[in-house]
Amino acid sequence: MAETFRIVIVGGGVAGLAMATRLGNNLGRAGQAEITLVDKSFAHVWKPMLHCFAAGTAQNENDRIMFMAQAARHHFEFWPGEITSLDRAARTLTLAPVMSADGQEVLGERHVRYDLILLSIGSRANDFRTPGVSEHCLFIDNLIEAGSFNEKFRMALLRSFADNEELNIAIVGGGATGTQLAAELHKALDFAALYSFGQKPPKLKVTLLEAGPRILPAFPEEVSIAATRQLEAIDVTVRAGAMVSGADENGFLLKDGTRVDAKLRVWAAGVKAPDVTAQFGGLKLTRSGQIEVNPSLQAMDDEFIYAVGDCSFIAASPVAPTAQAARQQAHHLARHIPALVRSGRPIPPWTFQNKGAIVALGSYNGWGTFSGGTVFGGGWLHGLSARLGHMALYRQHQFELYGPWRGAVACIVDWLDRFVRPPIRLD
Ligand SMILES: Cc1cc2nc3c(=O)[nH]c(=O)nc-3n(C[C@H](O)[C@H](O)[C@H](O)COP(=O)(O)OP(=O)(O)OC[C@H]3O[C@@H](n4cnc5c(N)ncnc54)[C@H](O)[C@@H]3O)c2cc1C
């Protein structure tokens, strides 16, 4: 009897979990292919929310989707494990052992065979090998790192409350991640003040360092100007044209010879693929390690490999690494792979449908752009439309993964939760 066709999806983020869910519901349910998802963690979080986890303004269990539960409902298998290499000739990938918190090996190294592999392992911030950054800076590229930053932030805040001492934080990178984090930290301080036994809140001094001429370079200049004004109004120092040349335990050194001292230092600039792509059997990569793919999202030099989202790069028509692009690419493959499996019909080229972009500065303000470049948000409603739009994108993601009923219940539970739990992480 012929073996069932095996599709392995590596990385259950914005793109990967959407592909696993849709292909599971289609090919998996019909028994026409075995769909397997592997991820180095056990739960999915929507990466555009990580700055809220880092600040502690999001902490709800509902914001995590357990891979095993999603797999059980949507006809795919889930295996925990970090991909460490790819043997393209044998069409096999290797997963690192899974270790328990006390260092015991729970699952040994495993080899997983595939007929088709879909790579969606995302990206990390790129420190461009700037001296001192990897040793002295915090990153918020995944839930573990966001949690680790939050622990340090809460402890530093506790001390500043106790001593009424200023807390200095510097963030490198004026893109959506750094800019939104700067605002979210202030929102966290506002909330923390509610639990301070009447103590005067300490001064939070956040400095946002951007090497380019303005923050939010992916948005029109009027959004950058308005966002800079808003950040300055809540006491964030915005320094554009500030090229960081090094980091140490006390802060950052800038190329112009000046320093920015900071107790906590966050690196949120640049994008590169996880280092493991160099172990993918010589696949064609960009300088930042992204897998080069053709417009059908197929690796340039391997017909059995597709790559989507931040870890991929379409040489013929590059798109910025965003959740919007990752989601559209995932939906494209999930729509066309069933015909490829059933009748060998090739995947058609993918084209990006630009739906615009949104940035939300905590509850202070927000802006969005439509695909034509028209800006909305800001104004006397403090960008309510853009902030609601930002929230709606997350709900859309939840609804797509949970389905309408469970998605609606998740919204209601989140809303009710606000009457029970504090709005900020306190433990
Ligand atoms: C704080 C922040 C705010 C953002 N805000 C926005 C925004 O407002 N709008 C927007 O469009 N984009 C935003 N982005 C960018 C957006 O999150 C990414 O573009 C998007 O998540 C990319 O999706 P992906 O599926 O490629 O990767 P991810 O969603 O990052 O998923 C990658 C998955 O791969 C897994 N993985 C990684 N390495 C391995 C390995 N070796 N083995 C196994 N599994 C692995 C990870 O655990 C993860 O589950 C933001 C990013 C950040 C960090």
pLDDT tens-digit map of 106-120 = 999 999 999 999 999
Task: Calculate Rg over the CA atoms of the chain.
Answer: 22
- Residues with Cβ < 8 Å from 186, sequence gap 6 or more? 204, 206, 234, 235, 236, 362, 364
Domain 5-124+271-343 identical in fold to domain 133-270+356-417: yes
Atom 20 in ligand 1: residue holding the nearest Cα: 323
386 vs 336: CA distance, rounded Å: 33
Out of 39, 47, 184, 219, give the residue to mutate to test ligand 1, the one with the largest number of ligand atoms within 8 Å of its CB: 47
CATH topology of domain 133-270+356-417: FAD/NAD(P)-binding domain (3.50.50)
- Report how far Cα 179 is from the mean position of its chain's Cα atoms: 15
Q: Ligand 1: residues whose CB is within 6 Å? A: 10-16, 38-41, 47-48, 50-51, 82-83, 120-122, 140, 142, 176-177, 274, 276, 309-311, 321-324, 326
pLDDT digits (tens, 9 = 90+) for 355-376: 999 999 999 999 999 988 899 9
CA 47 to centroid of ligand 1, rounded, Å: 5
- Residues with Cβ < 8 Å from 305, sequence gap 6 or more? 86, 88, 116, 117, 119, 280, 283, 291, 298, 299
- For residue 72, pLDDT over 60 is answered with yes
- For residue 1, pLDDT over 70 is answered with no
Please provide the average confidence, as pLDDT, over all residues in the chain.
Answer: 95
pLDDT digits (tens, 9 = 90+) for 149-189: 999 999 999 999 999 899 999 999 999 999 999 999 999 99
Q: Residue 217: what pLDDT?
A: 95
CA 120 to centroid of ligand 1, rounded, Å: 9
CB 357, CB 368: distance < 8 Å: yes
Cβ neighbour number for residue 135 with a 10 Å cutoff: 9
Cβ neighbour number for residue 316 with a 10 Å cutoff: 9
Q: Class of the 5-124+271-343 domain?
A: alpha beta
Rounded-to-10 torsion of CA 16, 21, 24, 25: -150
* Domain boundaries of the chain, sorted by first residue: 5-124+271-343, 133-270+356-417
Number of helical H runs and strand E runs in the chain: 11, 24
Alpha-helix residue ranges (DSSP H) falling in 245-353 = 323-343
33 vs 341: CA distance, rounded Å: 8
Please tell me the number of Cα atoms within 13 Å of 340 on its side-chain side. 20
Cβ neighbour number for residue 319 with a 10 Å cutoff: 17
pLDDT digits (tens, 9 = 90+) for 268-298: 999 999 999 999 999 999 999 999 999 999 9
